[in-house]
């Protein structure tokens, strides 16, 4: 049986986490460095958590070495586990549960994650919205292991191929994302791409030339012709 692989980014693609995660991230860097830290507006959209830590260390003129990196990572993960489940400023992208449920019941489709989040914070975010059960956290692409989205995507496909003991035709791999970085990484490997515009600038995403553009998943579920492109 031919298998399709559908890989999802998290923030802006499955959920909108609000401002809580960014606040906790900046505070974690500040706590470790013992200084006030604010993220530059917008420049980290689509970036991995590993990249963000190392880039902030560079910008703040600290050596981006593993000592600082791992202290910040541990602080951030611990703080996310404690605080994010209490947050109330986020929401699911409309229709996402119905869409994932439809895909999960198709025996030809395997679902996975390709996210800049660390694996543990990815779980914290998705479990908060009841979406964790759709994904296998033993495989996928997570921000622990790569700074670059292209490398991240390669990791996701390789680990999921190993776990499910199958190989995927590039034409049967679909990447769902909300930033040009997601779309461009899909193009790099010859995969299909779906741009989710719910919380992002549609015109900016169109410039990355995604194969399909959707506002949200209710849009897909209410359009039988569009839905048929995924099944």
Q: Where are the domains of the chain?
A: 4-17+89-228, 20-86
Q: Which residues pair with 16 in a beta bridge?
A: 91
Q: How confident is the model at residue 43 (pLDDT cuts 50, 70, 90)?
A: low
Could you give the CA distance from residue 193 to residue 208 in angstroms, rounded to a whole number?
Answer: 10
Continuous H helices in 105-192: 119-128, 149-164, 180-189
- Smallest CA-to-CA distance from 163 within 186, 198, 138, 200 is with 138
Please give the CATH number for the structural domain made up of 4-17+89-228. Answer: 3.40.50.1000
CA distances from 50 to 35, 64, 72, 161 (A): 20, 10, 10, 24
| 198 in Cβ contact with 177 (< 8 Å) | no
pLDDT value at position 2? 65
pLDDT value at position 186? 97
Report the pLDDT averaged over residues 71-100. Answer: 96
Report the pLDDT averaged over residues 154-168. Answer: 95
How confident is the prediction for the chain on average, in pLDDT? 92
- The alpha carbon of 151 is separated from its chain's Cα centroid by a whole number of angstroms, namely 14
pLDDT value at position 221? 87
The tokens describing 43, both together, are: 């420049």
Could you give the CA distance from residue 142 to residue 120 in angstroms, rounded to a whole number?
Answer: 9
Tens digit of pLDDT for each residue in 218-228?
988 887 777 78
Report the pLDDT averaged over residues 36-41. Answer: 83
Tens digit of pLDDT for each residue in 191-221?
999 999 999 989 999 999 999 999 999 988 8
Decide: helix, strand or coil at residue 81.
helix
């Amino acid at each position: 049986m031919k298998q399709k692989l559908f890989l999802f980014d998290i923030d802006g693609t499955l959920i909108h986490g609000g401002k809580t995660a960014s606040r906790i991230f900046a505070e974690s860097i500040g706590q470790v460095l013992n200084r006030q830290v604010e993220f530059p507006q917008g420049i980290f959209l689509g970036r991995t958590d590993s990249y963000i830590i190392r880039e902030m260390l560079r910008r703040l003129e600290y050596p981006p070495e593993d000592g600082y990196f791992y202290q910040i990572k541990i602080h951030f993960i611990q703080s996310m586990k404690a605080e994010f489940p209490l947050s109330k400023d986020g929401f699911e992208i409309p229709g996402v549960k119905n869409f994932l449920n439809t895909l999960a019941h198709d025996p030809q489709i395997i679902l996975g994650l390709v996210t800049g989040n660390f694996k543990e914070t990815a779980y914290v975010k998705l479990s908060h919205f009841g979406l964790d059960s759709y994904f296998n956290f033993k495989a996928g692409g997570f921000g622990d292991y790569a700074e670059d989205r292209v490398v991240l995507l390669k990791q996701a496909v390789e680990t999921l191929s190993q776990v499910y003991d199958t190989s995927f035709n590039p034409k049967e791999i679909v990447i769902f994302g909300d930033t040009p970085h997601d779309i461009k990484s899909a193009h790099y490997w010859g995969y299909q791409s779906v741009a989710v515009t719910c919380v992002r600038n549609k015109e900016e995403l169109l410039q990355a030339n995604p194969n399909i553009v959707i506002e949200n998943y209710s849009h897909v579920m209410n359009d039988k012709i569009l839905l048929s492109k995924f099944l």
